[in-house]
């Protein structure tokens, strides 16, 4: 895989460089609530602009239905990128139309433009190879060189991720190079004990990575909504907690395999419960009750790991040589259910080894809860991409850059 440093050494002054970034940031209206993904691509964009390239930044945001939708416009992200660069950033109101063409033609050496949300064009995400290829051809007409730096999208076989690099000289940006280097430390060069903490809502999202980790990790800590399927698989009452009944047989098999393989599978010993899901808008007090994990009332919902589980998980992370954490331990967006996620984050900060926060909600939680990002070994920008890499899958965006 060629990197941006090789591109810079070849010289980029005056060249049109298409940077596939990941500016898929959470928005409250037009207000960005977490700009981590924008900040992550700044080093690549700045290096290219400082070297005299004419930089065209492209990304998706959200899940529009292949047509323009103002709710998913990249305009706020473009404005924030300009603030972080300390420079004017042009914004095109389409992807491959007259506005995009004009924005690119108007770039001077060292200039930066952002084109509108790639998913406003159905060709970006199409499963039809010809439709995707046609969109990639039009994108290729905007640029001379391709730099892939949207790690959060490399697991998608999309036009700008998979098809476009085949049409232009292509290089990996600083973010992708860093992310791949980190993931190799979690697969090829692991310092032990290797502890993995998994949370989030659905156990089905994590089954494939658990399958792989049962042969690699020393300990697996399970929290979040997915924990209740594990507890149900052990025969416990879980009340009205989030539950995937159809996954119970697979979970039971994994529990048995963990014991057989000598992998310590650690489940909550107590949980915070309430009769209903909290109001995340008003953050009204939820007044949860702490109960043992095997004593959840039938009319209550588990919403966070309890105080004894927090201590237990912290002790299991205390000697870790390598830690990978993906998924919050509870409904961290509400203050009454944030302590479990906060405890795991603090345990990573205190751990002696290399710590990786695996993107998505975990990365948002770290920032929302006020942790210093530099206190962790690495905070990934791509939760889904990180998981699929650890599953051993071929990621289309990385395969295209390696070609």
Determine the Cα–Cα distance for residues 98 and 274; give it in Å rounded to an integer. Answer: 54
Strands 145-148 and 170-172: parallel
Choose the catalytic residue: 111, 359, 360, 383: 360
Is the CB of residue 386 less than 8 Å from the CB of residue 212?
no
Q: Which of 46, 185, 202, 393 does the annotation list as catalytic?
A: 202
* Residue 172: closest CA among 397, 384, 14: 397
Q: Which of 16, 20, 37, 156 is catalytic?
A: 37
**270-274 and 301-305: which strand pairing?**
antiparallel
Closest by alpha carbon to 325, among 194, 176, 188, 181? Answer: 194
Q: Is 384 a catalytic residue?
A: yes
Burial of residue 6, with CB atoms counted within 10 A of its CB: 0-12 exposed, 13-18 middle, 19 or more buried: exposed
Note the Cα 194 to chain centre separation in Å: 21
Q: Answer yes or no: 202 catalytic.
A: yes
Are residues 163 and 132 in contact, defined by beta-carbon separation less than 8 angstroms?
yes
Residue 340 bears catalytic tag? no
Catalytic-labelled residue, pool 200, 225, 306, 384: 384
What is the sign of the dihedral through the CA atoms of 364, 370, 373 and 378?
negative
Is 360 labeled as catalytic in the residue annotation? yes
- Kind and range of the H or E element at 114? strand 112-114
User: Among candidates 84, 86, 94, 72, which has minimal Cα distance to 25?
Assistant: 72
Q: Which strands, in side-by-side order, build the sheet including 219-222?
A: 264-266, 219-222, 194-198, 322-326, 354-357, 378-379
What's the helix, strand, coil split of the chain in %, to 5? 45, 15, 40
Instruction: Return the active site residues.
Output: 37, 202, 360, 384
């Amino acid at each position: 895989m060629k990197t941006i440093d090789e591109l810079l050494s070849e010289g980029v002054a005056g060249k049109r460089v298409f940077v596939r970034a990941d500016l898929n940031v959470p928005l409250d209206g037009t207000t960005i609530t977490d700009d981590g993904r924008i900040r992550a691509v700044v080093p690549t964009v700045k290096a290219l602009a400082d070297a005299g390239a004419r930089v065209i930044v492209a990304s998706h945001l959200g899940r529009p239905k292949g047509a323009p939708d103002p709710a998913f416009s990249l305009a706020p992200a473009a404005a924030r990128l300009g603030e972080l660069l300390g420079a004017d950033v042009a914004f095109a109101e389409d992807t491959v139309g007259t506005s995009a063409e004009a924005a690119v033609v108007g770039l001077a050496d060292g200039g930066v433009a952002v084109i509108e949300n790639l998913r406003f064009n159905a060709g970006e995400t199409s499963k039809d190879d010809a439709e995707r290829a046609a969109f990639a051809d039009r994108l290729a007409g905007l640029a001379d060189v391709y730099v892939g730096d949207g790690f959060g999208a490399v697991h998608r076989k999309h036009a700008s991720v998979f098809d476009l690099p085949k049409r232009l000289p292509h290089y990996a940006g600083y973010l992708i190079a860093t992310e791949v280097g980190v993931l190799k430390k979690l697969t090829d060069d692991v310092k032990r004990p290797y502890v993995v903490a998994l949370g989030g809502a659905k156990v089905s999202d994590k089954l494939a990575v658990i399958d792989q980790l049962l042969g690699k990790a020393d300990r697996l800590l399970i929290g979040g909504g997915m924990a209740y399927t594990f507890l149900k698989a052990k025969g416990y009452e879980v009340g009205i907690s989030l539950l995937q009944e159809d996954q119970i047989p697979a979970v039971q098999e994994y529990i048995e395999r963990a014991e057989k393989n000598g992998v310590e599978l650690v489940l909550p010993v107590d949980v915070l419960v309430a009769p209903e899901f909290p109001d995340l808008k008003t953050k009204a007090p939820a007044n949860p009750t702490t109960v043992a994990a095997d004593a959840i009332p039938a009319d209550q919902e588990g919403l966070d790991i309890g105080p004894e589980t927090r201590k237990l998980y912290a002790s299991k992370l205390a000697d870790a040589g390598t830690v990978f954490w993906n998924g919050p331990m509870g409904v961290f967006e509400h203050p009454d259910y944030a302590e479990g996620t906060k405890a795991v984050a603090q345990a990573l900060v205190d751990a002696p080894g290399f710590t990786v926060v695996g993107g998505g909600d975990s990365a948002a939680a770290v920032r929302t809860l006020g942790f210093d990002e530099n206190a962790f070994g690495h905070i990934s920008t791509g939760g889904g991409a990180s998981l699929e890499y650890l599953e051993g899958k071929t990621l289309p965006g990385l395969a295209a850059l390696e070609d």
